[in-house]
Chains A and B, each alone.
Chain A
Amino acid sequence: MLYLGPKRHKANTLTGDQPGIDWAQHFAERANQARDARLVQYYQAGMVTVDTPIKDVPLLAIDFETTGFEPEKDGILSIGVVPMTLQRISSNKARHWLLKPKFHLTESSVVIHGITHNDIAAAPDITSMLDELLSYMAGSVAVVHFRGIERPFLQATLLDRLGEGIDFPVIDTMELEARLHRSKPPGLLDKLLGRQPVSIRLADSRRRYGLPDYRPHHAVTDALASAELLQAQIADRFSPDTPIAELWK
């Protein structure tokens, strides 16, 4: 993962990753500032308060396939969403959209996600399904594996199309994995012995919890994979009563 974080835009900065943010309050403010009706409606749906236990939080696992890693230069090819709670993953309510990115497909990205020019020739622009996507997201906390993609890409894309961005809390299963395996930097001994750090990639993390191997790079499958990983992580080392503030970013 080479992504180095989004470049901050002056008017519409992302609030995520600022410590101790109160997303419920932030959503209320955003609802007043937003101009696009769809965004206003999204923010008005509100967000759970910081002390809500994870077992009571509506969640939505999200995965994007993109043309590259830079939100300003690359575009979204497909979106997969899977609604879930800590108890059940509603894969029966999963949705998948192919989108026409604003930018060109590169050969190397085709190799990764298998989505070709033909596939997206007839695909719609994100603005035509934004309603649906936002209604899935409304009121739920997003679940992603590596938070450097979905939020910045949606932010950049909406900024481009609507002239205003979007901001929302995410639970990053990769970051939860990093808390366990990257809590301290590798010591001298580790370096001398050439010890590799534990991989926190999606597939490797899943194997540690006995989760099955899935073929990667299909947006719904990847979203499902993160959804299952989150259930496993919480079952492994968090109480179902853990306040959401300890988990989201």
Chain B
Amino acid sequence: MTPIVRRHGATLAGFAAVAVALFAVAPSVLSTFRLSLLGQFVCFAMVAVGIGLAWGRGGMLTLGQGVYFGLGAYVMAMHMKLDDAGPGGVPDFMQLYGNGEVPLWWEPFRSPVITLVAVAAIPAAVAFVLGWAIFRRGVRGAYFAILSQALAAAFAILLIGQQATTGGTNGLNGFRSFFGYDLFDPVNKRMLFFIASGALLLMLLAAWQLYRSRYGELLVAVRDQEQRVRFLGYDPALVKTVAYVIAAVMAGIGGALFVPIAGIVSPDDVGVVPSIGFLIGVAIGGRATLFGPALGALIVAWAETSLSESFPSMWTYFQGVLFVVVVAFLPRGFASVSALWRRRPTPATEPAPQRQEATV
């Protein structure tokens, strides 16, 4: 065995399991409709991976990831509306609610290249400006959480108010094609699912590398002792902003892939409620673990759909109870259950056994 397999066997097995589940098992057992539904959840899971990084490792309780999800989603939706309308064409809803002209700020998104760049770049830029401003002033904890949530609320209200240019409460929908591929063709739907699954795997790999890296260690240090890190010569605001920006990019890509799969994006997908929903999945899965956030997000979304189908009004209560139980009894999420099981003392958790007879 190569050293990397020996040292990271469990993690690599986890990656293999996720890949097999998404690329082999799911497509063979699920109907096109269910697969498409799972595809949407995979997009939520991308947001969750980012939250795991920002909150689990970085300690930033971000209640507003819906904003970045929404920025990515709306950028993609704008491109798809323009693409459907044809060169120089005007999207249908604008003819209905607006003056029949495409606003100037929509025009760049006619270009597929600009759209793909903007899906990551716009959330990154917004997160950088906000994060740098917030973290440099030392805002953290509950204040940061409230601020991020207010941002999500404001973003949703802004979208609702701009009926003529963002579709208002209806959002953007009725897409026919995705970069030229017919969205009604089941083969293309399946392809979209594979693209989303591939993106999720790549993000998990990126998160793994970050957690293993020196930056990952520094991020945990900032989470636990921000002041101490400062006196070692680092700027904690920068360390936190980097994680926040990466989380925003992951959410933006998740949003962008959500639009062609779900066929709609509206303010309901980006406001306070979905932002908190993202967080619950992460908390339940285990925020500081590698796979926990993504699995938690998938399981919670799946449970929501299936329970809502059988007991339409019960889901909210169930979600609340689940959240309370996890926070009260499993503060590290379900991912920590296996650790309780093993109880194998690892070198890093064993108490210091003997006094060292050394050179102090």
A binds B: no
